[in-house]
């Protein structure tokens, strides 16, 4: 059972400062984002930009080969790693060894944004996680691996964050979404964190972060506009960028949740409560970082 959560404020973060950014791009951390598919190539772009906006210095994006040329144009700051695709357009699980090799040169890995094909995702994620010790964010459909193998990230010894929506959280716990809501999503997140040995970040306008030991925080804000396609990809990218900078997993999750919420608040005030795009969120993040400092 998680402790009563601490409500995150500016004072919370000012007392829990991030590692100082280095002077060069290598010193600020290297990120690998792995995901996407033929039908959902935008997710990795959103996550990758968010990682850079959180202060990471270098970015590589691994996704299906058909998407890499356009990705290099819309996000010229990234290097691309083309991955083979299945006939249905999913990332081919046979790409796992290539991703493992890529992890040798990065400080944080994001697995999952835009992945499609549950069976393919479970196999890909399982093969990658089994072979790495890199701090990792497990996002979206990549969570299906922990549903199938709850202990699958324990060898990372706490260096893993699970970022999920309500449906994914319930599936990871092995219950229905209605049952998870009836019990309380914070309690379900705490159970998943303890069983899987990962930090869990879940939620929308009220986000919960829970560690395997039961430490808990709640981040409020952002408004209904955060409930838009791609918003979760941005949040996962923020957490990954902070991990790459040297933040511990719980700190990266709490700070990432706060940056995401405050970016939503800024856009709600300037654009409207709904109608802003997930692609507009990352641009707000540097201001929020400076506000906290």
Q: With contact defined as beta carbons under 8 Å apart, do 65 and 131 qualify?
A: no
Q: How many CA atoms lie within 13 A of 42 on its CB side?
A: 7
Domain ranges for the chain, please list them: 6-17+28-292
CA 152 and chain centroid, separation:
17
Q: How many CA atoms lie within 13 A of 218 on its CB side?
A: 13
Output the pLDDT for position 2: 52
Output the pLDDT for position 26: 83
Output the pLDDT for position 175: 94
pLDDT 10s digits, 81-129: 999 999 999 999 999 999 999 999 999 999 999 999 999 999 999 999 9
Output the pLDDT for position 3: 62
Confidence of residue 180 (pLDDT cuts 50, 70, 90): very high
Output the pLDDT for position 184: 93
pLDDT 10s digits, 116-163: 999 999 999 999 999 999 999 999 999 999 999 999 999 999 999 999
Q: Which of 2-11, 24-33, 226-235 has maximum average pLDDT?
A: 226-235
Token look-up 């990471």 returns: 56
Output the pLDDT for position 70: 93
pLDDT at 1 exceeding the cut of 50: no
Which residues, in sequence order, are CB contacts of 34 under 8 Å at separation 6+?
A: 44, 61, 62, 63, 81, 83, 91, 99, 102, 109, 110, 111, 112, 128
d(CA 108, CA 41): 20
CA distances from 29 to 105, 134, 156, 161, 264 (A): 10, 12, 19, 17, 25
Output the pLDDT for position 211: 98
d(CA 178, CA 176): 5
- Looking at domain 6-17+28-292, its CATH superfamily turns out to be Ribokinase (3.40.1190.20)
- The mean pLDDT value of the chain amounts to 95
Q: With contact defined as beta carbons under 8 Å apart, do 239 and 137 qualify?
A: yes
Both tokens assigned to 276: 């802003």
Do the strands 206-210 and 6-7 form a parallel or antiparallel pair, or are they unpaired? unpaired
Angle at 147 between CA 254 and CA 48, to 5 degrees: 45
Q: Global pTM? A: 0.97
Q: With contact defined as beta carbons under 8 Å apart, do 77 and 263 qualify?
A: no
CA distances from 222 to 239, 243, 262 (A): 17, 22, 6
């Amino acid at each position: 059972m998680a402790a009563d959560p601490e409500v995150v404020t500016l004072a919370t973060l000012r007392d829990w400062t991030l590692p100082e950014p280095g002077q060069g791009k290598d010193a600020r951390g290297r990120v690998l984002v792995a995901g996407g598919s033929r039908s959902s190539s935008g997710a990795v772009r959103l996550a990758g930009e968010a990682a850079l906006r959180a202060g990471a210095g270098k970015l590589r994006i691994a996704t299906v080969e058909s998407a890499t040329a356009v990705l290099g144009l819309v996000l010229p700051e990234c290097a691309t790693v083309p991955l083979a695709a299945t006939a249905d357009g999913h990332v081919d699980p046979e790409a796992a060894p290539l991703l493992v090799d890529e992890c040798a040169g990065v400080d944080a890995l994001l697995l999952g944004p835009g992945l499609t094909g549950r069976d393919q995702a479970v196999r890909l994620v399982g093969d990658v996680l089994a072979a790495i010790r890199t701090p990792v964010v497990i996002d979206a459909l990549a969570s299906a691996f922990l549903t199938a193998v709850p202990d699958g990230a324990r060898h990372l010894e706490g260096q893993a964050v699970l970022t999920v929506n309500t449906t994914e959280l319930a599936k990871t716990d092995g219950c229905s979404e209605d049952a998870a809501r009836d019990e309380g999503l914070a309690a379900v997140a705490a159970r998943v964190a303890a069983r899987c040995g990962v930090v869990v970040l879940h939620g929308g306008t009220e986000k919960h972060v829970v560690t395997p030991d039961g430490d808990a925080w709640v981040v409020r804000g952002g408004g209904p506009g955060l409930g838009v396609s791609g918003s979760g990809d941005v949040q996962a990218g923020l957490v990954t960028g902070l991990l790459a900078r040297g933040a511990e997993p719980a700190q990266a999750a709490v700070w990432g949740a706060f940056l995401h919420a405050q970016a939503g608040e800024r856009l709600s005030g300037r654009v409207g409560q709904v109608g802003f795009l997930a692609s507009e969120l990352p641009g707000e993040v540097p201001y929020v970082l400076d506000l906290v400092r």
